[in-house]
Chains A and B, each alone.
Chain A
Amino acid sequence: MAEMVTLSIDGREINTPAGTTILEAAKDANIYIPNLCSNEELTPYGSCRLCMVEIAQGKRARLVASCIYEVADGLEVKTNAERVLNVRKLVIELLLARNNKHPALRKIADELGVEETRFPVEQKGCILCGQCVRTCREVVGVSAIGFSGRGITRKVATPFLDFPPDCIACGSCVYVCPVQFIPMKEEKDVRTIINFDYPMQKCTKCGRYFAPIKQLEYFSKTTGLPLEHFETCVDCR
């Protein structure tokens, strides 16, 4: 059993195992903290800054990203302090300036009482939370995509903006994106992600196109099973 710690979030006393982040502890206690870049399957990253909370240990109060900061005994957390709300309002206004349409962002804006961003809107769609990049690296294990550029020119990109040689076309980046920015479509024997085409495997038994060939090759490589094993769809296997 992990060691337990006691902290307070918005005045509520909470017992939680050591090593938990404030965000996880709050979620377990049904206390809502908005967030966009956090995902329990991924290493905390702390980039969107929506989940900022105010903490006090002793006299000093400061703001931390609750998705990274780990709980500690006696920690007092305020999820709605004025400074916290100001940061969240700024962050959501800044993100709306990149994408003022997506319901996920609109919902958070509504909760914060933000009707519209005061900044000029330049529709970029992607909010650079990095979930796709981290999923590709940490969950899929291939690092087919990454960030290019820095500052305001930062983008999620394939190496040299070319066809990504390591991509297995699994589509995890597409599923994980909180604003559904990465386009994917399937037409019969081809899956297209962004504008890259990946041929699909035809099931040797039922003839249905069921998975990208590159993904099956990757399965074969990582499991050590022969590729033929994966050339039949799950239903027919």
Chain B
Amino acid sequence: MKKVKTPEELKSLQEEIQNSRDPEKPCITICAGTGCLTYGTQKLIDNFNVEIEKQNLKGKIEIRASGCHGFCERGPLVVINPQNIFYQRVGFDDAEEIIKETVLNGKIIDRLLYIDPLTKEKIFHEDEIPFYKRQMRLVFGMNGNIDPNSLEDYLAVGGFNALIKVLNGMEPEAIIEEIKTANVRGRGGGGFSMGQKWEATRNAPGLPKYIICNADEGDPGAYMDRSLLEGNPYLILEGMLIGAYAIGSNMGYIYVRNEYPLAVKNIMIAVEKARELGILGKNILGSGFDFDVVINRGGGAFVCGEETALISSIEGRSGEPRAKYVYPAERGLYDKPTNINNVETWANVPLIINKGAEWYRSIGTENSKGTKIFALVGKINNTGLVEVPMGITLREIVYDIGGGIPKDRKFKAVQVGGPSGGCIPESHLDLPVDFDALSEVGSMMGSGGMIVMDDCTCMVDVALYFLKFLEEESCGKCTPCREGVHQMRLILERITEGNGKEEDLNTIEWMGKAIIDGSLCALGGTAPNPVLTTFRYFKDEYEAHIREKRCPAGICKALITYTVDPETCNGCMVCARICPTEAATGEKKELHTIDQEKCIKCGACFESCKFDAVKVS
């Protein structure tokens, strides 16, 4: 691509690309996000290309491997445009049929359609699927329309319009004012005002100033930043360019974990192409503004998502946080003024510049504006990434978008905000989801992980799981986090093993508060949350474990026994065959029994019994 030297040149390049594209030309979009790729989607993409080659359709049908569409549960996903036909669970060998039948003959392949589990109706179009219909995909929606490695694709959907607008004479102060008016808060966990942060960095004395894109998303189950960086890297670059221009920075860093190979690859390609086009580098679009980015791969420590630890890591030291009594906006990377925002926050910037702060403010609640992407996972029918306006209720997310709980089991809780978020019970299902409402119930927005749990979940076990994660990920610098979380884990472990003591109840609560108060950074400062919230909403489960040595959900191995119900067992022998320790035995068509001495409580018999004859108590 030829270098563009002015905003006008970029605009006309954009128009040239848009005009050259025929909106009626058939386009097969295959989701090539990490979720779909793990289904083996690359093979499907290859098959489509082979088929196009074979049938001499090159140039007549476009094949696009796009970023993540969000509906990971139903992958591999294929969308056929211009009709917007949506196929799900597409097999690798379906390529030929899709091209022949749907693309060339306009016939719908019934078996690939999505069936609404509620109405049992077949749904033809992507935008009519309930999972998408209730979302507001302002930031994430573009993913489906672009090949992340194609700068032309990004331009074709109006990419870099915000950059053009900014470099066509918007003053840095005016940009900051716009971001402040939009009242957008950081999507990475802290929820701090982006505009205020930008302003503080701009006004802080000292040069050079740095900006950083935090792509060190590390919460178990959260992958929205990953999918944005993988699926739409130019959007992030555009956001960063605007931020850098407003703040007065010439140097940006993208700190991305090396466990995200596709994100690393796609952002590297994007940076290279942006340099070739002249939108990164010296004198961008003739504005006199210089900006370039460095991709910094992180080693995968969870704590490096904490901004001061991240800065340490970029500086080449071990990822340990420091006290934030002086903000990075004043003294950050190499002790210079530094602005850090996470991927999703940067992705909101072009949107705000294009559509205006007032429009942006119209979405959301009083103190939480815009949309938020959540990673909806756990015991939920529609696993995937969902982008919703702030203020939507948990119930809408779980039931309308998420399609409810598999096997129609009962909802028990949803862990919002990652490992150090909090478990929100059913009584708060109508809670409007925004920064403040989540904090009020003891949870937090965090990065937007949402793990749904059903009534088969033991809340003590859940708290223990998250605590183990945080214990492992604590950097170990400060005592309350390093030692406190460790000791708390030991107590919880004891409780789940049936060795809990009455005084543990007080200890947990007391030390939880002291860990929060005493820890150096937000990792320790929020680590007790899963324990404290499960304690607050499900104290009876803790009490049952401690006082009655009983796990009400039937999960904690030391506290449960599997038995066979003589009334229901018909002697099918499945449990006897599957039992790894020969504890379950019995003759054909006769009552089976489980030898408690031999039983290791793996639950295989329970899972495998088709007649629900294996009981947990």
A residues with a Cβ closer than 8 A to B are 46-50, 52, 63-65, 68-70, 83, 86-87, 89-91, 94-95, 97-98, 118-120, 127-128, 130, 147, 149-154
Are A49 and B518 within 8 A (Cβ)? yes
Are B514 and A86 within 8 A (Cβ)? yes
Are A49 and B325 within 8 A (Cβ)? no
Knowing A68-B325, A86-B510 are in contact, say whether A150-B483 is a contact too (CB < 8 A): no
Are B513 and A94 within 8 A (Cβ)? no
Q: Which residues of A contact B323 (CB under 8 A)?
A: 46, 64-65, 68-69
Residue of A nearest to B512 (CB): A90
Q: Which residues of B contact A127 (CB under 8 A)?
A: 479
Q: Which residues of B contact A83 (CB under 8 A)?
A: 513, 517
Are B514 and A89 within 8 A (Cβ)? yes
B451-485 residues at the A interface, CB under 8 angstroms: 471-480, 482-485
Q: Which residues of A contact B519 (CB under 8 A)?
A: 49
Partner of A49, one of B318, B474, B480, B486: B480
Are B520 and A151 within 8 A (Cβ)? no
Q: Which residues of A contact B471 (CB under 8 A)?
A: 151-152
Bound-state CA distance A109–B301 (Å) is 34
Q: Which residues of A contact B518 (CB under 8 A)?
A: 49, 52, 63, 87, 90-91
Interface residue B609 (Cβ < 8 Å from any Cβ of A): no
Q: Which residues of A contact B480 (CB under 8 A)?
A: 49, 87, 90-91, 94
Interface residue B487 (Cβ < 8 Å from any Cβ of A): yes
Knowing A46-B322, A63-B518 are in contact, say whether A151-B479 is a contact too (CB < 8 A): no
Knowing A65-B323, A87-B518, A147-B318 are in contact, say whether A95-B479 is a contact too (CB < 8 A): yes
Bound-state CA distance A47–B517 (Å) is 14
Partner of A154, one of B482, B484, B485: B482
Interface residue B511 (Cβ < 8 Å from any Cβ of A): yes
Are A90 and B472 within 8 A (Cβ)? no
Q: Which residues of B contact A98 (CB under 8 A)?
A: 483
Residue of B nearest to A153 (CB): B476
Residue of B nearest to A92 (CB): B479
Partner of A150, one of B322, B474, B487, B503: B474
Interface residue B492 (Cβ < 8 Å from any Cβ of A): no
Query: Which 8 pairs of residues, A with B, have the shortest CB-CB distance?
Result: A154-B476, A87-B518, A94-B483, A90-B514, A151-B474, A152-B486, A49-B518, A86-B514
Interface residue B602 (Cβ < 8 Å from any Cβ of A): no
Minimum C-beta distance from B559 to chain A (A) = 21
Q: Which residues of B contact A46 (CB under 8 A)?
A: 322-323, 478, 520
Are B476 and A147 within 8 A (Cβ)? yes
Interface residue B280 (Cβ < 8 Å from any Cβ of A): no
Interface residue B267 (Cβ < 8 Å from any Cβ of A): no
Are A152 and B318 within 8 A (Cβ)? no
Interface residue B515 (Cβ < 8 Å from any Cβ of A): yes
Q: Which residues of A contact B303 (CB under 8 A)?
A: 150
Knowing A47-B477, A48-B479, A151-B471 are in contact, say whether A86-B486 is a contact too (CB < 8 A): no
Bound-state CA distance A49–B323 (Å) is 11
Interface residue B490 (Cβ < 8 Å from any Cβ of A): yes
Partner of B325, one of A69, A89, A147: A69
Are A152 and B511 within 8 A (Cβ)? no
Residue of A nearest to B515 (CB): A90
18 new A-B contacts at CB < 8 Å, known A64-B325, A86-B517, A89-B514: A49-B518, A49-B519, A63-B517, A63-B518, A64-B323, A68-B323, A68-B325, A86-B513, A87-B518, A91-B480, A98-B483, A118-B503, A119-B487, A127-B479, A150-B303, A151-B475, A152-B471, A152-B482
